[in-house]
Amino acid sequence: MPSLLKQDPRYFYKGTGSTKSRILYALASSVMCKGDNGRWQPNYSNVIGSFAGAGMQALYLPANDRRGSGFVVSSALIRLGETSLTGVLQEFVFSKLTPNRPRRSTSQP
């Protein structure tokens, strides 16, 4: 989906700002992304991909276990929640494990 919609699915580390702004940035990464043109845009590829994956998952369930469209919607929303949590982990936890990440300057002129 990202290549068809010309979107960049990578997470871009913010690293500066208040903890609250960094958390909101990380949570928004599941529904906002950069396009190939470098501008921020809705992350259609992640949203459509989450719903498509949930729809395929429903096809593998026996017919008596399917709960209609509610199953697809809840599964897709769970997947979007997972990608939001992944953004928070990348912003706060995995950045500390990256050896060559840019360091914030603590010196003041």
Domain span holding position 16: 7-97
CB atoms within 10 A of CB 79: 19
109 residues of the chain, pLDDT tens digit each: 777 888 887 888 887 888 899 999 889 888 888 888 888 889 888 899 999 999 898 888 887 777 778 888 998 999 999 999 988 888 888 766 666 665 655 555 5
Residues in Cβ contact with 47 at an 8 Å cutoff, skipping those fewer than 6 apart: 31, 76, 80
Q: Is the residue at 104 inside a domain?
A: no
Q: Is the residue at 109 inside a domain?
A: no
Q: What is the model's pTM? A: 0.74
Q: Is the residue at 93 inside a domain?
A: yes
CA–CA dist 73, 76 (Å, integer): 5
CA–CA dist 23, 17 (Å, integer): 10
Q: Is the residue at 107 inside a domain?
A: no
Task: Look at residue 102 in the predicted model and tell me its pLDDT.
Answer: 59
Give the total number of structural domains in the chain: 1
CA–CA dist 3, 9 (Å, integer): 9
3 state DSSP class of 69 = helix
Q: Is the residue at 2 inside a domain?
A: no
